[in-house]
């Protein structure tokens, strides 16, 4: 890939420089922000203004599950925008009603009524409020290795270091240990019993336990089969609800519709966003059981947004679910996901700096280590908000030099390609990561 040059010496073109000057980069020291202009995206690939083409091996922010440039969704949005671009949430549209019905159909068990919003963080905010209103209790237990969003409620239940600058956050949030077999001294099943004890010690004050059924940005942590069923039992034994945050794991990523389907567990409340529209429009959703829904017949649901159920966004959501269903993308993710898993295992065999590989379907992580026996992470990026290392950044950068975009977080490469990816495209991306891992191999402790 070409080295970028510019008269200003910052490597940015005019558009990128204008963007950097006038638009904040998220989760960043602004002086380090270096936006890259994307001019085209099609299928599993995107192209930058330089003309460089990349395989999108992380679906951008783990959200472009359907790949890029699906005309059918663009047409559905276009048609809705021309018919009625916006109606207040007190009105409805055919797309909104049909999307609600579809969500009841594809989500597990009896989950049936959905609160609509515009993002994952808002879906989590709604879940927290609904759980508090319904149970009349205030506390939410969530886990350390988790991300639930950036607004105040959801950053307060987030466990990873991104929460630190926003603390103390909202009252009543408690963090629990994680099912992280590779990196924690606690066995994953012991960690559930720990939560059981926490609930006991908190008395009857906990509204809900909130978890990502398969942890996403904190390193693709897949708990043992018995973990989530036991967690639901523990919650219910103490009069607390189970909320599954499916914002990243949902919509086929795991080879099932939702992460909790992998464990055959029906939560009381489930949050969705990202893959819900395949990222063609911003849309969040919080679905609840009929029992919880009934509560709000006589008790006011004190929550809402101007753009709740925005016509264009729900049109995209409805069209996206049609595509998942008609193109059998969930089954496809499971099949192609097996192939991806095998290819990743080969990388682990070849590269000593691969400490652990985890995941299911097209939702996989490669955790790096500088010392495999002691499981020591690379830790040079001395930054309490975005821990990890310059080494894992260099692995991603080298993969990009070889034509593949792969995100990373906390020493882990986050592999989550569009569900439409082919085995040949996987091979291409794996070859790029193979080259990247040479860098981490060279950086190991000897
Ligand atoms: N929940 C999970 C599990 C997520 O991964 C994310 C974002 O990555 C969120 C919530 C927040 O979603 P958003 O960025 O759309 O607000």
Per-residue pLDDT reduced to its tens digit, 211-223: 999 999 999 999 9
CB atoms within 10 A of CB 333: 29
Whether residues 263 and 286 fall in one domain = yes
The reply to whether 163 and 130 lie within a common domain is yes
Same structural domain, 140 and 276: yes
Q: Tell me which residue of 68, 60, 69 sits closest to 405, measured CA to CA.
A: 60
Q: What is the DSSP string of 161-197?
A: GGGGGGTT-STTEEEE----TTT-SS-HHHHHHHHHH
Are 135 and 276 contained in the same domain?
Answer: yes
Same domain? 360 vs 256: no
Q: Which ligand 1 atom minimizes the distance to the CA of 273?
A: 15
Distance 425 CA to ligand 1 centre (A): 27
Contacts of 421 (CB under 8 A, 6+ apart): 44, 67, 336, 362
Residue-number span of the structural domain to which 171 is assigned: 71-326
Q: Would 320 be classed as within a structural domain?
A: yes
Q: Is residue 2 part of a domain?
A: no
Angle at 368 between CA 364 and CA 372, to 5 degrees: 120
pLDDT tens track for 88-104:
999 999 999 999 999 99
What crossing angle do the helices spanning 311-326 and 329-350 adopt, rounded to 10°? 80
CA 249 to ligand 1 centroid distance, Å: 10
- Report yes or no for ipTM above 0.90: yes
Q: CB under 8 Å to 338, separation ≥6 — which residues?
A: none
The verdict on 267 and 277 lying in the same domain is: yes
CA of 387 to the centre of ligand 1 (A): 18
Q: How many domains does the chain have?
A: 2
Please check whether residue 251 lies inside any domain of the structure: yes
Both 292 and 385 in one domain: the answer is no
In a domain, 10, yes or no: no
For residues 198-202, give the mean pLDDT: 98
Domain membership of residue 16 (yes or no) is no
Query: In this predicted structure, what is the pLDDT of residue 386?
Result: 67
- Using the mean position of ligand 1's atoms as its centre, give its distance from the Cα of residue 271 in Å: 10
Picking from 386, 382, 380, the residue whose alpha carbon sits closest to that of residue 368 is 380
Report phi then psi at 305, rounded to 5: -135, 150
The verdict on residue 298 lying in a domain is yes
Binding-site residues, ligand 1, Cβ < 6 A: 119-121, 124, 147-149, 212, 216-217, 245, 247-248, 273
Q: Same domain for 302 and 416?
A: no
CATH of the domain at 281: 3.40.640.10
Ligand 1 midpoint to CA 13 (Å): 30
Residues 241, 388 within the same domain? no
Q: Which of 292, 326, 360 is the last residue of a domain?
A: 326
- DSSP for 120-133 reads HHHHHHHHHHHHHH
pTM for the full predicted model: 0.97
CATH, residue 349: 3.90.1150.10
Q: Which of 61, 217, 244, 248 is the pocket-test mutation for ligand 1 (most atoms within 8 Å of CB)?
A: 248
Q: Where are the beta strands (DSSP E) in 303-369?
A: 354-360, 363-368
């Amino acid at each position: 890939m070409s080295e970028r040059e510019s008269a200003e010496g910052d490597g940015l073109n005019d558009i990128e420089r204008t963007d950097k000057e006038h638009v904040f980069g998220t989760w960043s020291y602004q002086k380090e922000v270096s936006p890259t202009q994307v001019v085209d995206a099609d299928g599993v690939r995107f192209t930058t203004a330089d003309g460089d083409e990349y395989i999108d091996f992380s679906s951008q922010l783990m959200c472009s599950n359907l790949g890029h440039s699906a005309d059918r969704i663009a047409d559905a949005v276009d048609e809705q925008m021309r018919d009625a671009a916006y109606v207040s949430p007190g009105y409805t549209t055919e797309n909104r009603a049909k999307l609600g019905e579809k969500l009841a159909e594809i989500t597990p068990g009896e989950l049936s009524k959905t609160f609509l919003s515009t993002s994952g963080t808002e879906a989590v905010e709604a879940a927290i409020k609904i759980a508090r209103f319904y149970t009349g209790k205030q506390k939410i237990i969530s886990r350390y290795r988790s991300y639930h969003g950036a607004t105040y409620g959801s950053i307060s239940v987030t466990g990873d270091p991104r929460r630190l600058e926003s603390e103390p956050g909202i009252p009543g949030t408690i963090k629990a240990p994680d099912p992280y077999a590779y990196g924690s001294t606690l066995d994953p099943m012991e960690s559930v019993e720990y939560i059981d004890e926490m609930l006991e010690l908190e008395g009857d004050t906990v509204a809900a336990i909130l978890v990502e059924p398969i942890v996403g940005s904190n390193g693709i942590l897949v708990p043992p089969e018995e973990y989530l069923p036991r967690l639901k039992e523990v919650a219910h034994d103490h009069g607390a609800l189970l909320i599954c945050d499916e914002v990243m794991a949902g919509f086929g990523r795991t080879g099932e519709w939702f992460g909790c389907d992998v464990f055959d567990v029906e939560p009381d409340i489930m949050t969705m966003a990202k893959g819900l529209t395949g990222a063609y429009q911003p849309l969040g959703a919080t679905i609840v059981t009929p029992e919880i829904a009934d509560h709000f017949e006589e008790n006011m649901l004190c929550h809402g947004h101007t753009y709740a159920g925005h016509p264009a966004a729900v049109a995209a959501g409805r069209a996206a679910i049609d595509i998942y269903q008609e193109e059998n993308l969930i089954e496809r993710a499971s099949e192609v996901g097996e192939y991806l898993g095998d290819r990743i295992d080969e990388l682990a065999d070849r590269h000593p700096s691969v400490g652990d590989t985890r995941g299911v379907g097209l939702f996989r992580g490669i955790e790096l280590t500088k010392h495999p026996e002691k499981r020591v992470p690379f830790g040079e990026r001395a930054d309490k908000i975005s821990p990890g290392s310059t080494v894992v950044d260099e692995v991603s950068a080298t993969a990009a030099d070889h034509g593949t975009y792969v995100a990373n977080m906390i020493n882990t490469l986050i592999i989550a390609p569009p569900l439409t990816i082919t085995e040949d495209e996987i091979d291409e991306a794996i070859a790029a990561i193979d080259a990247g891992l040479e860098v981490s191999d060279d950086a190991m402790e000897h």
